[in-house]
């Protein structure tokens, strides 16, 4: 899916982000230079901008990240469907971005969002995808 270091996309497939010139630039610089994995993906954690609640973990490719930056609404890449998707396009649970952070080595993204529609994030109908607790080795819905 990618050609070069840092997940540079094949021509015509999606936007290209720069590669950091050094570790110091990567970790302390001001250039967004995400490090996509071997499949061209980066982990994205979405939390509720007002409550801090973890809503979901998803994946982004370069195109999803660029569309998110351009539109202010969360876009992800579905590994099962191998397709880009705009969160909430069919469910109404559009995620409006209030802030985007990237971790120290730029291989994970944190989206602070305000969910629209019913305010949920999970395809099961739950507010958060993390609605189950592990207790004594079993899953309990909370």
pLDDT of 10 reads 43
Overall residue count recorded for the chain in this entry: 142
pLDDT tens, residue by residue, 64-122 = 999 999 999 999 999 999 999 999 999 999 999 999 999 999 999 999 999 999 999 99
Residue 80's domain comprises 2-141
Say which DSSP state 20 is in.
P
Structure tokens at 91: 């469910």
Q: Residues near 1 by Cβ (< 8 Å), separated by ≥ 6?
A: 9, 10, 13, 39, 40, 61
pLDDT of 16 reads 87
Domain count, the chain: 1
User: Taking the chain, what is the end-to-end CA distance rounded to the nearest angstrom?
Assistant: 39
State the pTM of this model: 0.86
Q: Is the pLDDT of residue 8 over 70?
A: no
Torsion of CA 126, 50, 62, 103, to 10 degrees: -110
The CATH number of the domain holding residue 55 is 3.10.20.810
């Amino acid at each position: 899916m990618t050609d070069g270091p840092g997940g540079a996309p094949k021509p015509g497939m999606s936007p290209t982000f720069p590669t950091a010139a050094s570790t110091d630039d990567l970790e302390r610089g001001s250039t967004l230079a995400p490090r996509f994995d071997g499949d061209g993906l980066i982990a994205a954690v979405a939390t509720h901008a007002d409550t801090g609640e973890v809503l979901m973990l998803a994946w982004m490719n370069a195109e999803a990240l660029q569309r998110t930056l351009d539109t202010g609404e969360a876009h992800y890449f579905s590994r099962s469907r191998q397709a880009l998707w705009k969160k909430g396009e069919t469910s109404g649970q559009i995620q409006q971005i209030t802030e985007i952070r990237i971790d120290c080595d730029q291989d994970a993204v944190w989206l602070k969002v305000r969910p629209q529609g019913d305010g949920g994030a999970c395809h099961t109908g739950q507010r958060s995808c993390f609605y189950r607790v592990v207790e004594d080795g079993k899953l309990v819905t909370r």
